C-alpha cells in the first residue's frame, strides 16, 4: 500500500511541478516583453531582466493554486487514462486513501505558498518596485505615475519611490485648508528617515495666498509624519503582493486614520484563506477525475481545468470589488467561491464513491 501511495504522490507532484514550469516560463517571457516597453532613462534591458527576476517569487505564489489544481487534474488524469486508477481500486485501495495520497503534494504546495507569500515575495517585490522607480528617475519627477499616494490629515502625499533602507525619492506634499483649497505644494528630491522624523533634501515649496504665490527653496527640511519606513514598505507594493502581517498592520493603521481599509482587508482574507482555497480546488480536480472526466482525453481535461480555474478566479475577482462597493464583509467575497467549489467537489465525490 505504501508503494501505491508513493506512486500516486510522485505522479501528482511531478505533474504539479511540470505545470508550474510551463506556466511560469510563459509568464516570465511575457512579463519581460512588457517591461521592455517601459525602458527609458536608466531603466534598460538588464534592469528590466533584473526586475522580472525579483518578481519571480510573487509570480510563483500567484500560480501555486493553479499549479496544484491543474497538476492534480493532469497527474490523476494520466493514471485514469492508462487504467491505473481502476487497477488500484480493484486491488482494494479505497477512494479515501487515493484522495489523501493525491492531497499530500497539495499540502506541500500550500506550505510552500504560505512561506513564499509571507517571507520571500513581499521583500523581493518591494526591492523590485523601488529599484525600477529610481532607475526611471523618481527623484526628478513631481508626482510620477509610478509612485504612490497617501493622505494624512489635510496633507496629500505622493512618493515616487520608497527604498527598503528608509530612503524616499521624489516627495510631493500638497496641503489643503478646511475649505479644500490648496495652500502649499512642496517637492523634495530625497527624504531620509532620522529615527522619529524625516529629513527632506533639496526642497522647493510654493505657498499659495490670495495675493499670489511665493516660491521658497531649502537645502533640508524636517518632516513630521506618522509614516515610518515599515509602513511605507507596505505602501510601495500592491495589497495582493504584501504579507499577511503587513496587510494587517497597514489596514489597522488606515482605520486609525479614519481611512478606508477595505481593499487591504480583502487582500488579507485572500491570503489567509489561500490554503483552504487551494485544498478545495484540488478536491474539485480529484472529484472530476473520479466523476465526469474519468474517460475523456487529456486535452479535454486540461481545457476543463482551465475553464474551472478561471471561473473560480473570476468569481473572487467579481465579488471582491462588489464587497468594496456595497460594503459587505470582504471575507465573504473570498469564502463564497470556496464554499461553492467545496460543495460541488463534495457532491461529485459522493457520487463517485
Residues sharing a CB contact under 8 Å with residue 190, sequence separation 6 or more, in sequence order: 139, 167, 168, 169, 171, 200, 201, 202
Cα distance between residue 191 and residue 4, in whole Å: 61
Q: Return the pLDDT at 293.
A: 58
Label the pairing between strands 198-209 and 182-193.
Answer: antiparallel
By the 8 A CB rule, do 188 and 171 touch?
A: yes
pLDDT value at position 353? 60
25-56 burial: b if 16+ Cβ within 10 Å, else e = eebbeebeeebeeeeeeebeeebbebbbebbb
* Runs of H (alpha helix) within the chain: 2-36, 45-54, 56-81, 84-90, 95-115, 121-135, 229-235, 244-256, 262-272, 274-290, 298-326, 330-352
The pLDDT score that the predictor gives to residue 148 is 81
Q: Helices 56-81 and 2-36 meet at what angle, rounded to 10?
A: 140
* Distance (Å) of CA 41 to CA 55, 136, 138: 21, 6, 10
155-163 and 148-152 beta bridge pairing? antiparallel
Separation of alpha carbons 168 and 236, rounded Å: 11
**b/e burial code for range 236-251 (CB count within 10 A of at least 16 → b):** bbebbbbbbebbbbbb
pLDDT by residue for the chain (353 residues), tens only, comes to 678 888 889 999 999 999 999 999 999 999 999 999 988 888 899 999 999 999 999 999 989 988 898 888 888 888 888 888 878 888 888 888 888 888 899 999 999 999 999 899 988 988 898 888 888 876 565 555 667 888 888 899 988 888 877 788 889 899 998 888 888 999 998 999 988 889 999 999 988 887 778 888 889 999 988 788 877 777 777 788 888 888 888 888 778 777 778 888 888 999 999 999 998 888 888 888 877 656 666 667 667 777 887 788 788 888 888 888 888 888 998 999 999 888 888 887 787 66
Predicted local confidence at residue 296, as pLDDT:
64
Amino acid at each position: 500500500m505504501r508503494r501505491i501511495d508513493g506512486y500516486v504522490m510522485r505522479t501528482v507532484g511531478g505533474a504539479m511541478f511540470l505545470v508550474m514550469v510551463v506556466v511560469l516560463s510563459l509568464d516570465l517571457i511575457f512579463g519581460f516583453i512588457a517591461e521592455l516597453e517601459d525602458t527609458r532613462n536608466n531603466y534598460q534591458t538588464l534592469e528590466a531582466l533584473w526586475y522580472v527576476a525579483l518578481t519571480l517569487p510573487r509570480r510563483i505564489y500567484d500560480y501555486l493554486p493553479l499549479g496544484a489544481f491543474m497538476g492534480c487534474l493532469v497527474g490523476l488524469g494520466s493514471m485514469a487514462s492508462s487504467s491505473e486508477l481502476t487497477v488500484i481500486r480493484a486491488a482494494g485501495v479505497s477512494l479515501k486513501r487515493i484522495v489523501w495520497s493525491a492531497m499530500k503534494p497539495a499540502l506541500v504546495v500550500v506550505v510552500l505558498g504560505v512561506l513564499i507569500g509571507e517571507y520571500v515575495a513581499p521583500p523581493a517585490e518591494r526591492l523590485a518596485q523601488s529599484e525600477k522607480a529610481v532607475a526611471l528617475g523618481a527623484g526628478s519627477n513631481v508626482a510620477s505615475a509610478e509612485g504612490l499616494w497617501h493622505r494624512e490629515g489635510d496633507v496629500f502625499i505622493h512618493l515616487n519611490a520608497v527604498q527598503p533602507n528608509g530612503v524616499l525619492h521624489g516627495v510631493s506634499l500638497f496641503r489643503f485648508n478646511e475649505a479644500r483649497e490648496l495652500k502649499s505644494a512642496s517637492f523634495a528630491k530625497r527624504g531620509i528617515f532620522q529615527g522619529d522624523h524625516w529629513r527632506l533634501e533639496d526642497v522647493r515649496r510654493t505657498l499659495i495666498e490670495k495675493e499670489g504665490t511665493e516660491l521658497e527653496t531649502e537645502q533640508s527640511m524636517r518632516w513630521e509624519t506618522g509614516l515610518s519606513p515599515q509602513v511605507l514598505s507596505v505602501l510601495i507594493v500592491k495589497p495582493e503582493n504584501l504579507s499577511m502581517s503587513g496587510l494587517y498592520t497597514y489596514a489597522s493603521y488606515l482605520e486609525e486614520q479614519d481611512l478606508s481599509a477595505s481593499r487591504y482587508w480583502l487582500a488579507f482574507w485572500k491570503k489567509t484563506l489561500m490554503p483552504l482555497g487551494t485544498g478545495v480546488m484540488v478536491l474539485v480536480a480529484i472529484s472530476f477525475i473520479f466523476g465526469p472526466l474519468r474517460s475523456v482525453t487529456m486535452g479535454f481535461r486540461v481545457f476543463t481545468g482551465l475553464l474551472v480555474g478561471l471561473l473560480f478566479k473570476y468569481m473572487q475577482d467579481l465579488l471582491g470589488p462588489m464587497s468594496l462597493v456595497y460594503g459587505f464583509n470582504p471575507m465573504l467575497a473570498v469564502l463564497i467561491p470556496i464554499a461553492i467549489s467545496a460543495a460541488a467537489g463534495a457532491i461529485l465525490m459522493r457520487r463517485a464513491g
